[in-house]
Structure 1
Amino acid sequence: MQPSSTHSTNSPRSGFTLIELLVAITIVILLMGIFYVAVIPVLTTGKESQVQSDLTSLGASLGNFKMEFHDLPPSTFTLRESDTGWTNSERAVLRRFWPNYDFSTANAFDANGNGNSTDEITMNGAECMTFFLGGILTVDATDEGNRVPSGFSKNPAAPFSTGGTRVGPFFEFNVDRLVLLDTDSDSSKDDEFKMYTDPLSGGGQPYMYIHNDDYVNPTSALSGSGMTKVYSQNTAEDVFWNAQTYQLISAGSDGVYGTGGVFDPNTADSDLVGSARDPERDNMTNFNRARLAP
């Protein structure tokens, strides 16, 4: 007779034990920490390299604009789409670039592409840079994403006309980074022009452009940025970086420009501190290509 054999009747496991779950969670947290420490700085560095490339390309494009029109774009200007009511200073700016501009005939135009020709658009420096490097925007009354730079007409009397032979755009804008913001907080974008954002801070902050004419009083050029000063080299704040040309400023990865003011690359690490100026540490400019401070 064969002895009877006994078999284990253990039931299969139904899931992880609490200890196993805790171990798994701990491993995931550690991996996330490693990813953040190792990968995020690499991604940020890559985007900062893109900012450096943008600043170089924008500088070249501003140079090409100057070659075509014999001067740099202003960093404050009001576009009057009705083509009437230009002030003397506005006429002087237009004649600087288009000496034969016809002020005797109202050639209404749609600069921002929103479907009407009645807007008065007071532009800050970022808006001026997009307008003068890109030209008037193509018209789409319902979808602002379709409003893209189309250059200027070669008609010397009516450069804001549509169609015909064009000059510009002078810069190849990534249209996904052209944004329309309510810079004056009046709940309307009809009096705004598109700005070109950097790739750093989430949706991006616009590259600020300030012509040297506005260095002493940059309020209008820097409107919407929170900055109150351009960058100077001395405590008297009367010797400016890029004194004869312009400053380009990226808000950096934190998306905050700070207030501006004195910048000394030798002491920036200790100077750019405190609630007002700490946000400037990661700013990038066309006169100091790396971050302003480590």
Structure 2
Amino acid sequence: MTPAERRRTGFTLVELLVVITIIGVLIGLLIPVIWSAVGRANDARVGGEINTLAQALASFQNKFGDYPPSRIILAEDGGYDSAAVALDSVPFYAGMSYQSPAANIGGNPQVVTGVGDQTYAALAQKSISVMRKFFSKTQFSTGPAASGIVGGYYDFNGNGVLDANPIYLEGHECLAFFLGGIPTHTIVGSTYTLEGVGGFGGNPRNPFRPAYLPDGTLDPVGQNRSEPFFEFRAERLVDDDFDGIPGYIDPLGEGPAGRYFAYFSSYGGQGYDPNDVNFNAGAISEPNPVALPFSVSFPVLNGVSARVTGSPLPNPYTSSLPVATGDKPATFHQPQSYQIISAGRDRLFGTGGQYSSSGTGDRLPGDGRTRERDNVTNISNGTLD
């Protein structure tokens, strides 16, 4: 056999190991680049959706003269008990029973109150003012139930019955309710399937009626409906406090990874209230939640200052220290409109507070604020850092 005939046709073990090593190095170099590109694409996706929500909010403001609130009480009989006890002991409605369990986002948002928060009576009066401004021909009363409501009651959550207890909405629910309208459900017996949101009815005396009655027949009171200001995707509408009015989770996760878009209103420049978004630690899966002192627009009792209170995270962003300095209150970003906040890739909101948009130095001063660096908001172009 000649030397040519004895020439090998395969690779040696050493050569294979070298090739495998080179491929592994290349993969190791490429994976971070790929993940970074995916992360940037997801950031852009969330930012684009926040921009679309901003356009919807602009349309709402153009029609109604102001942006939606970020905390409100809805009474389906039109009557508010102005002598009610403190907010945290009012029995709010949470009686929806769903055919399919609501998506688990780590726990239900909770009504968190404490020193400096508004009483039920104050929030009820504020709610009446908001609803009368947006829906001037509807009837709301600070005393007993209103009379003469077309259809008998306001079916805010679209469940087809008059709910005796008031419905408490937080910022994420306000965003979906005012931009989307009355929720629509498929009702079988006592169980519900949330189908989406369907705008408001055309009757100015009662725009809060679903298009269909519980038996599936057309409701003449609820016809001639307006189009929602924003096209909410039904699979991302989540009602995990079972009051029938959902919030909207961002596109970066669902199930245990789902996080609502947090929404804060400045109430037409009257001031942000950090207590408006009351996620608890379980709801956002963040360890060691902290309460930061903020300047708020209502009097604070038993506090260090008449303008400072502590609120659970997340909180709206300020361009100054998030506390009143002397007689000067904190300065908030977007002081005349609103803030929308996504928890970002790590699914953690962080505490909120001071944020510098200058691009020099530390944009998020303070300790333990790494959770916020990937947050996407309407106050910055892209992530916060």
TM-score, structure 2 normalization = 0.61
* Larger RCO (CA under 8 A, 6+ residues apart): 2
Mapped partners of 1:261, 1:101: distance in 2: 38
Pair 1:179 & 2:238 matched: yes
- 8 Å Cα contact 1:268/1:292 also seen in 2: no
Q: Tell me the CA shift for residue 31 of structure 1.
A: 7.3
In the alignment, does 2:274 pair up with 1:218? yes
Q: Which AA in structure 2 matches 1:53?
A: G
TM-aligned CA distance change 1:80 to 1:147, over 3 Å: farther
With 42-51 and 262-271 compared, the bigger mean Cα shift is at: 262-271
SS, match of residue 248 in structure 1: strand
Amino acid at match of 1:254: D
The secondary structure found in structure 1 opposite 2:369 is helix
> Is 1:287–2:379 an aligned residue pair?
yes
Q: Which residue of 2 is the match for residue 60 of structure 1?
A: 55
Shift of 1:30: 5.9
Letter in 2 for 1:67: N
Paired letter, 2:58: G
Counterpart of 2:384 in structure 1: which amino acid? L
> How far apart are residue 216 of structure 1 and its match?
4.4
Q: 2:353 aligns to what SS in structure 1?
A: coil
Shift of 1:200: 2.2
Aligned-pair CA distance for 1:114: 4.9
Q: 1:233 — aligned with what?
A: 319
| SS of corresponding position for 1:282 | coil
Structure-2 separation of matches of 1:265 and 1:26: 44
> Does 1:204 find its partner at 2:199?
no
Change (3 A) 1:31 1:193: farther
Q: Which residue of 2 aligns with 1:14?
A: none
The answer on 1:153 being equivalent to 2:201 is yes
Give yes or no for contact 2:154–2:206 (8 Å, CA) kept in 1: no
Change (3 A) 1:38 1:51: same
Query: Hey, what does 2:147 align to over in structure 1?
Result: 104
Q: Which residue matches 1:41?
A: 36
| Residues 1:147 and 1:275: Cα distance change in structure 2 (over 3 Å) | farther
* Worse-superposed segment, 231-240 or 103-112: 103-112
Question: 1:75 aligns to what SS in structure 2?
Answer: coil
Aligned AA for 1:157? R
Shift of 1:178: 1.5
Distance 1:268 1:254 in 2: 24
| 2:130 equivalent among 90, 93, 97 | 93
Q: Greater shift after overlay, 123-132 or 106-115?
A: 106-115
- Report Cα offsets for 1:201-241 as digits up to 9, x if no partner: 45431111111138543113344465253111112561110
Aligned to 1:3: none
- What is the rounded CA distance, in whole Å, between the counterparts of 2:209 and 2:160 in structure 1? 14
1:195 matched residue in structure 2:
247
For the aligned residue pairs, the C-alpha RMSD in angstroms reads 3.1
How far did 1:66 drift? 1.3
Q: Structure 1: which amino acid aligns with 2:198?
A: S
Q: Structure 1 residues 34 and 151 mapped into 2: Cα distance closer, same or farther (>3 Å)? A: same
Q: Compared with structure 1, are the counterparts of its residues 140 and 268 closer, same or farther at alpha carbon in structure 2 (3 Å cutoff)?
A: farther
Whether the aligned pair in 2 keeps the contact of 1:115 and 1:139 (CA below 8 Å) is no
Q: Report the counterpart of residue 123 of structure 1 in structure 2.
A: 169
Read off the aligned partner of 2:127 and give its amino acid letter.
E
Q: CA deviation at 1:137?
A: 0.5
Distance 1:216 1:65, change over 3 A: closer
Number of residue pairs the alignment of both structures matches: 268
More off after superposition, 52-61 vs 159-168: 159-168
Determine which structure has more spread, i.e. the larger CA radius of gyration. 1
- Aligned residue type for 1:199: P
TM-superposed CA distance for 1:67, in Å, is: 1.6
Select the structure that is richer in helix: 1
Gaps of 5+ in 1: 1-18, 182-188
What stretches of structure 2 of length at least 5 have no aligned partner? 1-13, 82-123, 140-145, 212-222, 285-311
User: Sequence identity, in percent?
Assistant: 32
Question: Secondary structure, in 3 states, of the residue corresponding to 1:148?
Answer: strand
CA distance in structure 2 between the partners assigned to 1:70 and 1:217 by the alignment: 20
